Structure 1
Amino acid sequence: MVLSLLSRLARRGPLLLLLALLLSWATQVQATHLRAGDIQAKIDTTVGPGNNPRRVFFKMVLYQKTPTGGIPDESSVTIFFGDCGPPQIIPRASAVAVNSETQRNVYFFEHTYSAPSTYTVHYIGENRNGGVLNMSASSAQSFYISTTFTIDPGLGQNRSPILTKPSIDNAAVGQVFLHNPSAYDPDGDSLVFKLRPSMQVVGGITGPQPPCFVVDSTRVTGYVLPNRLGGGSNNGVQVAYTDPSGDSPNGIPGNASIFQQNRRTGTIIWNSPGTVGEYNVAFVVQEWRRTSFGRRLIGEVIRDMQINVKPTNNQRPILTIPPDICVVAGTLITGTVTATDADGNPIRLTANSGILPPATFVQNASGPPTATGTFRWTPDCSNIANQPVRVSFTAEDQPGGTNPTPLIDQRVWNITVIGPAPQNLRVAPGNTGVRSAVLTWNSYLCRKPGARILIFRKEGASTLNPGPCDTGIPAGSGFTQIGTLTYPSPLGTTDLLSFVDNGGGTGLERGKTYCYRIYVEFPLPAGGKSQVSQEACIDFAGRPLLMRNVTVDRTAPTNGQITVRWTKPVSTPPFADPQQYRVSRAVGQTTTGPFTTIATISNVSDTTYVDADPSLDTQNRSYSYRVELLSQNLVAETATAASSVRIDGTAVPAVSATALNGISLRWTYNVPWNNALRPTTVYRKGPAANDPFVAIATVTGTATGGSYLDEGTAAQRLVKGQTYCYYVSTNGAYDGNRLPSDLINLSQQQCIALRNVPCAPVLSLKRTNCDSLASRLFDLPATPISGAVYTNNLSWTLGNTPPDCSRAIASYNIYYAPNSQDSLRFLTSVPATQTTYQHLNLTSEAGCYAVQSVDSSGTRSVRSNIACKDDCQLFLLPNIFTPNGDGKNDTFRPKVFTPIRSTKFTVFNRWGVKIYESSADPLINWSGGGSRAEGGAAPSVVEGMYFYQAEVEFGNLDRTKRTYKGWVQITR
């Protein structure tokens, strides 16, 4: 009768519905019976033309006290859908007795939203059952749960997490309590678990008011975690406990009890309860979607669960599960689960997971002495994912006697499903105009729309030997991705069975062996990868045109000399005559030029060219060379360009008596061979004119260069005032057994003077007298709406650090950080004649500075002392404002303020009733509206005196918080 009436009134208008809700609530204020629950949501999964991506289906499960002896039956519920529409009355779909004290109710409902957005569906129940120990007067507080979800066409299918374990559970005094909600996400999204306080809505279902029915939930009064009861309650102590998986902390007997939830698995541990009774806790299950733009929070489910702690001498069983595994889709998994009980009780074994069924779990024996069960599952291609499938096993002992208290142990088995390796990868030479390799493979078993086949290549055979759980190709294996093939959506009959590698259109090189592997990467949100295929290789006979040397023979600003060498190419059929080489040069280390032809060589057996151009500046420049083979005056083959090796150095004079003088060397190159396979040798020449170059170090370089800090030796340190000269000799090789190696190339010679380091400056930063400003607060000019503009004034003198420092300064570098927690970064440079600096147009006075001296050679001193200052904390509100729409003094805001991070502003009338509250604007900017002014629906308050409280968090580094209270007169 009540349901029928409410449904008719809902159709006639929200105000009539509100009246009906009030009447309904008035009859239920004593209905203190709700224990636990949660809500699941899924976007319309209907296939075909009836699908509506804005329609959402819901399932809510509630646990209530068994409706006997005046306890009402929750035969219908009121649901708020979070879209400003009126609530709906939903009838119950089923009711099942869990035990003599608890009933499980299930409700199904749906709602169609008007537009894509993120919505929260709310349930407010009247009221919680009485006697819950970790909150105040539970029977007088409403029960609240919600689920948030996102409707976004770009997300595709979206279903909320599903929690398969009931939201009521039993615990025992002095025994470890474990609860895992056995949650999974049907779409493969990542789940994160966090404890939350149990929530209520003040006023119950009458709290949300028309026209928008905003549900404002708040923490239940007096809520604490179950292990933190006050008033001298026994909160228990930890007992011995070891979690083999490491998901929960091990127990430290005698320490204070703990109540925690694992963020990754969701397992709750309470070690251990101390007081008999009922407790409620809530937690949120966050749903994170992996997208091509990163992780995105797309939903969350709030479960409020009840734990009933009982007294017992029973001891909990001990459960043993298989170790975490990975498995290839299509492979049968069989796992044995066992449990024992110290009291010799029989044990009931159960399993919870989103894969049950089709997976099965059968208990074979209940013990004693040992209970056993067998889990079987053959995952298919739909189960492939980045995240493991979690199966929660529970062992519950079955003690005898009257009113027994069963106890449990619980473990989570993680099963990661990976894709099978692509089979029968083959490679054969192509028959196109350029040298190419054609890859083919069998039709892939786990084809999915959006899945990608990734093709990788390596020169020469690899030693990659992946393990059974390894997917993809690891970094550092030498393979480079050269292609991607994507399965279309819808899949249809399309298959991907081949790929042609033509070297990016330029053709593959003769004389090289190319090896290939492929694997499959599966689409988000589940993601996942396959095992990598076996390796397939192809060998191209002949010898390519390759650069061998670009070595500096003579270092000079003019008349430098560089020797260039290359290989003579061999091809079948041979190149047609006439043949000749064309040698080109470019300035810098480049492969793209511009290149200028400097020589043509008709003798193709002559593979050396000595570049002794009078304009060649090998002292200050590097050069790159390219060689082309011309056949019948056409380019038949081009060698990838190679550069000379360029070395540079910087003096690092000692800045203290204990430090060593040094010279920092760095060299670079851009070459087609690998200089990292063999060490580079560093040579140094002493300061005397007849000192020879001697090898002082060997260094393993990189693909582009190397570095070395020369600090001399214990027998012969580097000395200030002397000049030292260096060059390096690189030793490179091409990948491939038949390609050139031992490619020795010399850099130019570089000489570096080890001068005295410049003296470090001593910095001063003019500070603001905040106390003086605060004492004159009422006399200060009004702060502009955009905030004050600040200037920081720096000044410095030249110090005497280190003792032998040089005072020949060319310029000063100034460094700045917004605060003392950030790293200093280069701000600007000023000439040596300037020893002051104004940092202008700042939105905050806060900042840290340092100054560094620089001499004419670029040698820098150590940085000065770091000087910092912070913002003052000034805040002044006026006592009158006139919100009359004349454009003058229409908003209430601070007259004087320094940088503010946030402000919570509350206004009360003279009777102490709160009429306005907002944290949206740090500068308040109250327009004189009432309690719903932020929604734009409430009228302005009347003229008169009002009292305010402003909780201000300033923008300084310490985030200083201050509360200001006062009054304001509103005149219109």
Structure 2
Amino acid sequence: MIISLHNRPVRLWLTGLLLWVVYLCAAPAAHATHLRAGDIQAKTDTTAARNPRRIFFKLVLYSAAGTGVADEPAAAIYFGDNTCTGSNPIPRFSRQLISPDTYRNVYYFEHTYNSPGSYKVVYLSNYRVEGVINMLNSVNTPFQISTTITIDPFLQNTSPVLTAPAIDKAGIRQVFLHNPAAYDADGDSLVYSLRPSQQAPTPAGCTPSPIDVAGFRYPNDAALGGNPVQVAYAGPPVGRPGDPAIFEQDSRTGQIVWNAPAVVGVYNFAFSVKEYRRTPGEKARLIGEVVRDMQVTVVATNNARPTIVVPADICVVANTAVPNGIVTATDPDNNPITLEAFGGMLPRPASFTQTATGPPTARGLFQWTPTCNDIRSEPHQVLFKATDRPVAGQPPLIDQRVWRITVIGPAPQNLRTTLQGSTTRLDWDSYSCQNAGAQILIFRRENSFPFTPGPCETGLPAAAGYTQVGTVNVGSRTFLDDNNGKGLDRGKTYCYRIYVQFAAPAGGASLASNEACVSLTGRSARLTNVTVDRTDAANGQITVRWTKPTSSAGFGTPRGYRLFRAPSLNPATTDFTQVYTTTNLDDTTFVNSGLNTVANTYSYRLEFYNVPVVGAAEAVETAGPASSVRITGTPNPIANTISVTWTYKVPWDNTKRPTTVYRREPTGTFRPIAKVTGTATGGTFTDAGTTAAPLVKGRTYCYYVKTNGTYDSTLPDSLINLSQQQCVDLQSIPCTPVLTLKPTNCDSLASRLFDLPVTPLSGQVYTNYLSWTLSNLPTADCSKNIVSYIIFYAATDADPLVELTRVPGSQTTYLHQGLSSAQGCYAVQAVDANGAISALSNKECKDNCLLFLLPNIFTPNGDGKNDTFRPKVFSPIQRTSVKIFNRWGVKVYESDKDPLINWNGGSSGSEGGGSGKMADGMYFYQADVEFSDLNRTKRTFKGWVQINH
């Protein structure tokens, strides 16, 4: 038979396979084999006397059944802390025949670690099953799986559990699906990824070194032959018939899709399940990883896969039965079908019962009532698998789908409000899910908002306009809202909702409660003005005004106002000091003088106090804080403009009416020059003057702004507030220097190499010559009244420029002297009489020349003259590797220790040559020189040298 191998990858694969066959023929004996697949599970100690360093493990292995296969009644484990089972392997706990050719073996063991840390626990065996076609020589390839754990005193954790078996069958030219049906009892996030199967030689100690198996290829690799292509498949991902075959795993669901097998045989591959712990406010932390090695047997068959249909993904409220858990499957060959379900809730407390096998339709019923402990942010996954039962001689095939069920918390019940003065008391029924660490979040908004949450809509949408005002433990049943001690505003209606946030790592939330509202009659005291009357560093003045509070029931005594001030736009509560108090409720204005309104923004907070009834505690309502308007000006000499910016932090709205910008005229009076719509915190305006009257450099321009704010129709309107005055000098900026760096004519030096003086042993001392002129940039009127220049230097073009020195403005040259290398980069900036700094000049760089000349004779006679073989002329050198040969081509000396060589005529026995001197005569050299230039240029010099003692 002649086989034509036109496919180069196939030829390479078969070549490697033939090499392994040769190896097998030379081996004295093959291993007995049986291991198909497996994985390791882990969990921390949960006993009464919990030890966080004690870990419990479960090893699951799938082995071949039948005669002539090896058995493994005990397993060797490597614990990742340089310990292992050694001569005391773990005995097998159970062995179950799960199919005519496969056993499921279970081993339980535990280990106590000495300290916190991350550990990789490895199972290693020499009994991998033979005949795996996507690796070389599987029969002699060790089988290795692992799980990585994190030991942390504060971390209680269970590794992901993979509930679906790690073996499966596939039909040629039919889509193969597999899902490990993994679940995590702690609700940690799981991330899946494919990887090659691994092996590890049996270590001499207790630390194996895993590597990928030899010749591994993923099952869809074209080098395995069969022209693998996709077939029609509804997805995901949707099949593209005729395109190259795919073999991929969904990173979130773990679903493996192979579209489609092309070669009959046994395949192995591995995948990892990484476990991430979420902590609020922090990046997810990797705390574990399970690596499963699994096996798929592809068979040639006329049997066609069944098709399974599962319900649409849903959300279910805890303690409510999952509805419509009906799963169906049909088979194109009208074969009966076996239905199975896998998941963390199975076989208890959930159940799955097959009610019909078909044909035409197989049916099953999934039943589960999740509890409060099942609430989590990630959905629970239930894997449903349909396996057909074809006629004798045909292998069964499968289809599978995942049903995702998100369990959410029930809504808190019977939220109600009670008004207590200017405070709202909220009450609700005891919450039904008292999960550890859960919290009830309290939200408030002004006026009612109609909202009915959808079946999976936990919490509150941002568009609802609620603001969180409190958090209490899930066991609480009441909350007092006093607006952080400020009291709620009279004349407003406040509406509340609450929901429950469950603790990490599982997370999750509840539906929102009903809305409960409360209305406060009357009107609160409100700050209306914080306006700057006078700008002065010592005697500045601000006027503060507020509204008088009202109440249908009146106010008890004592009563009055307390006004507080802090020198900042965003002061802390502790920064405020009392500046005024009065018991006259009609006194709603305070003029605050003696301030530094030039340098400071001032914020004010008002307290209205009264005693509602005789003998009661003092009730305090807070208004504000509200700040003065702060203006700044920034000149832009290049654009000939001034940018005016203002900021404020006030409880009223300054966005509905424009802010007016004023500029002082040469006559001394201010006039409005612009109206600008501001934001909630300020605004900006760029003053360019006018076409007829542009701004003039050398002048000073002064500004202030007037804001016009509002609350609503029930309060005073047109709240006028002025900023302080701000003056800005519009000065020309210095002209940008143009730098020249005197070059060195390296070509001229190289042409006169033999005429140049001998370079000193310590190297040449270099000087770089800089000169510069002023350009007319960036503008024609740039300032040339320069008082100094700043010179910058960097050793190489890649290094940042740093200040080297400063020279007077009358100096336009500079000598950078005493350098061991001419290499370097420079730039210059100009500084004018106003302290303004120009843009950086052009950057100019200089490099070392490449000069190297070796003599043709030296006299190593110890007279101190010409005793060593070294360059006569050289520029800075980084490294030199030299080899010396005698006239017969025998190497007599080699060194790269000295950039200047300095060979004394000895052998290579010691630095610079040994005591064994070379005889007089001619020798040949090869010097590989790396220069200290910008490019680290390398050149090779060859020649001869005469030794005369």
Output the TM-score relative to the length of structure 1: 0.69
Q: Which amino acid aligns with 1:40?
A: Q
The answer on 1:219 being equivalent to 2:219 is no
How far the C-alpha of 1:154 sits from its partner, in A, is 0.8
Other-structure match for 1:412: 402
Residues 542-941 of structure 1 aligned to structure 2 (within 5 Å): 542-552=522-532, 562-571=542-551, 572-576=553-557, 587-589=567-569, 604-609=585-590, 613=593, 618=597, 621-626=600-605, 639-652=623-636, 663-671=642-650, 673-675=651-653, 678=656, 680-683=658-661, 692-699=671-678, 701-702=679-680, 705-710=681-686, 721=697, 727-734=704-711, 742-750=718-726, 752=728, 759=735, 800-804=776-780, 806-807=782-783
Q: Which of 232, 252, 277 matches 2:240?
A: 252
2: CA distance, partners of 1:250 / 1:816:
61
Secondary structure, counterpart of 1:529 in structure 2: coil
How far the C-alpha of 1:100 sits from its partner, in A, is 3.5
The answer on 1:296 being equivalent to 2:297 is no
Q: Which amino acid aligns with 1:132?
A: V
Other-structure match for 1:885: none
Q: Which of 436, 450, 457 matches 2:444?
A: 457
Contact (CA 8 Å) 1:675, 1:730: kept in 2 or not? no
1: CA distance, partners of 2:158 / 2:321:
28
Residues 274-289 of structure 1 aligned to structure 2 (within 5 Å): 274-289=262-277
How far the C-alpha of 1:37 sits from its partner, in A, is 0.9
Q: Which amino acid aligns with 2:394?
A: P
Contact (CA 8 Å) 2:732, 2:783: kept in 1 or not? no
Other-structure match for 2:229: 237
Are the structure 2 counterparts of residues 709 and 829 from structure 1 closer, same or farther at C-alpha, using a change threshold of 3 Å?
farther
Other-structure match for 2:504: 524
Contact (CA 8 Å) 1:810, 1:831: kept in 2 or not? no
Other-structure match for 1:177: 176
Are the structure 2 counterparts of residues 765 and 54 from structure 1 closer, same or farther at C-alpha, using a change threshold of 3 Å?
farther
How far the C-alpha of 1:728 sits from its partner, in A, is 4.1
The answer on 1:134 being equivalent to 2:134 is yes
How far the C-alpha of 1:192 sits from its partner, in A, is 1.3
Contact (CA 8 Å) 1:347, 1:397: kept in 2 or not? yes
How far the C-alpha of 1:548 sits from its partner, in A, is 0.9
2: CA distance, partners of 1:896 / 1:589:
65
Are the structure 2 counterparts of residues 257 and 597 from structure 1 closer, same or farther at C-alpha, using a change threshold of 3 Å?
closer
Other-structure match for 2:429: 442
After superposing the two structures, state which structure 1 stretch, 706-715 or 636-645, moved more. 706-715
2: CA distance, partners of 1:373 / 1:691:
85
Contact (CA 8 Å) 1:680, 1:728: kept in 2 or not? no
1: CA distance, partners of 2:846 / 2:479:
63
How far the C-alpha of 1:120 sits from its partner, in A, is 3.1
2: CA distance, partners of 1:836 / 1:375:
89
Q: Which of 306, 315, 319 matches 1:326?
A: 315
How far the C-alpha of 1:328 sits from its partner, in A, is 1.5
Residues 101-140 of structure 1 aligned to structure 2 (within 5 Å): 101-140=101-140
Residues 302-359 of structure 1 show CA distances to partners (whole Å, capped at 9, x for unaligned) of 1101111222344434444333222211222224434444555554433221122322
How far the C-alpha of 1:798 sits from its partner, in A, is 6.3
Secondary structure, counterpart of 2:131 in structure 1: coil
1: CA distance, partners of 2:308 / 2:693:
67
2: CA distance, partners of 1:707 / 1:818:
45
Contact (CA 8 Å) 2:641, 2:689: kept in 1 or not? no
Residues 801-845 of structure 1 show CA distances to partners (whole Å, capped at 9, x for unaligned) of 4343624679999999999999x9x999998969999xxxxxxxx
2: CA distance, partners of 1:121 / 1:738:
71
2: CA distance, partners of 1:866 / 1:468:
65
After superposing the two structures, state which structure 1 stretch, 275-284 or 858-867, moved more. 858-867
Output the TM-score relative to the length of structure 2: 0.71
Q: Which amino acid aligns with 2:471?
A: T
2: CA distance, partners of 1:413 / 1:484:
34
Other-structure match for 2:520: 540
Residues 132-165 of structure 1 show CA distances to partners (whole Å, capped at 9, x for unaligned) of 1111111111111122223333113x22111011
Q: Which of 345, 354, 361 matches 2:352?
A: 361
Contact (CA 8 Å) 2:488, 2:621: kept in 1 or not? no
Contact (CA 8 Å) 1:315, 1:343: kept in 2 or not? yes
Contact (CA 8 Å) 1:720, 1:756: kept in 2 or not? no
Secondary structure, counterpart of 2:261 in structure 1: coil
Are the structure 2 counterparts of residues 425 and 599 from structure 1 closer, same or farther at C-alpha, using a change threshold of 3 Å?
closer
The structure with more radius of gyration: 2
Q: Which of 180, 205, 209 matches 2:204?
A: 209
Contact (CA 8 Å) 1:876, 1:896: kept in 2 or not? yes
How far the C-alpha of 1:380 sits from its partner, in A, is 1.1
Residues 756-793 of structure 1 show CA distances to partners (whole Å, capped at 9, x for unaligned) of 565556799999xxxxxxxxxxxxx9xxxxxxxxxxx9
After superposing the two structures, state which structure 1 stretch, 589-598 or 303-312, moved more. 589-598
Contact (CA 8 Å) 1:331, 1:378: kept in 2 or not? yes
Contact (CA 8 Å) 2:487, 2:620: kept in 1 or not? no
Q: Which of 296, 316, 326 matches 1:307?
A: 296
1: CA distance, partners of 2:898 / 2:182:
53
How far the C-alpha of 1:609 sits from its partner, in A, is 4.5
Contact (CA 8 Å) 1:95, 1:106: kept in 2 or not? yes
Other-structure match for 1:271: 259
2: CA distance, partners of 1:685 / 1:716:
16
Residues 885-904 of structure 1 show CA distances to partners (whole Å, capped at 9, x for unaligned) of xxxxxxxxx9999xxxxxxx
Residues 395-434 of structure 1 aligned to structure 2 (within 5 Å): 395-398=386-389, 400-430=390-420
| Paired residues, number | 787
2: CA distance, partners of 1:318 / 1:712:
73
Are the structure 2 counterparts of residues 726 and 680 from structure 1 closer, same or farther at C-alpha, using a change threshold of 3 Å?
farther
2: CA distance, partners of 1:189 / 1:874:
55
Residues 680-730 of structure 1 show CA distances to partners (whole Å, capped at 9, x for unaligned) of 43536597868941544323x13xx23335377999996664877655444
How far the C-alpha of 1:566 sits from its partner, in A, is 0.8
How far the C-alpha of 1:580 sits from its partner, in A, is 6.7
Gaps of 5+ in 1: 1-25, 488-494, 656-660, 768-780, 782-792, 838-846, 878-893, 898-957, 959-972
Other-structure match for 1:60: 59
2: CA distance, partners of 1:807 / 1:129:
85
How far the C-alpha of 1:265 sits from its partner, in A, is 1.1
Contact (CA 8 Å) 1:227, 1:235: kept in 2 or not? no
Other-structure match for 1:387: 378
Q: Which amino acid aligns with 2:374?
A: N
Q: Which amino acid aligns with 1:226?
A: P
Residues 185-200 of structure 1 aligned to structure 2 (within 5 Å): 185-200=184-199
Residues 373-413 of structure 1 show CA distances to partners (whole Å, capped at 9, x for unaligned) of 44332211011012111122233444x44422443333222
Are the structure 2 counterparts of residues 214 and 622 from structure 1 closer, same or farther at C-alpha, using a change threshold of 3 Å?
closer
Q: Which amino acid aligns with 2:441?
A: L
2: CA distance, partners of 1:256 / 1:873:
56
Secondary structure, counterpart of 2:139 in structure 1: helix
Contact (CA 8 Å) 1:187, 1:525: kept in 2 or not? yes
After superposing the two structures, state which structure 1 stretch, 172-181 or 597-606, moved more. 597-606
Are the structure 2 counterparts of residues 78 and 607 from structure 1 closer, same or farther at C-alpha, using a change threshold of 3 Å?
closer
Other-structure match for 1:161: 160
2: CA distance, partners of 1:738 / 1:208:
84
2: CA distance, partners of 1:465 / 1:409:
39
Contact (CA 8 Å) 1:684, 1:727: kept in 2 or not? yes
Are the structure 2 counterparts of residues 629 and 446 from structure 1 closer, same or farther at C-alpha, using a change threshold of 3 Å?
closer
2: CA distance, partners of 1:419 / 1:873:
74
Contact (CA 8 Å) 1:651, 1:859: kept in 2 or not? no
Contact (CA 8 Å) 1:319, 1:409: kept in 2 or not? yes
Contact (CA 8 Å) 1:235, 1:273: kept in 2 or not? no
Residues 730-771 of structure 1 show CA distances to partners (whole Å, capped at 9, x for unaligned) of 44455x88565653433345455665565556799999xxxx
Q: Which amino acid aligns with 1:84?
A: N
Other-structure match for 1:92: 92
Are the structure 2 counterparts of residues 107 and 513 from structure 1 closer, same or farther at C-alpha, using a change threshold of 3 Å?
same
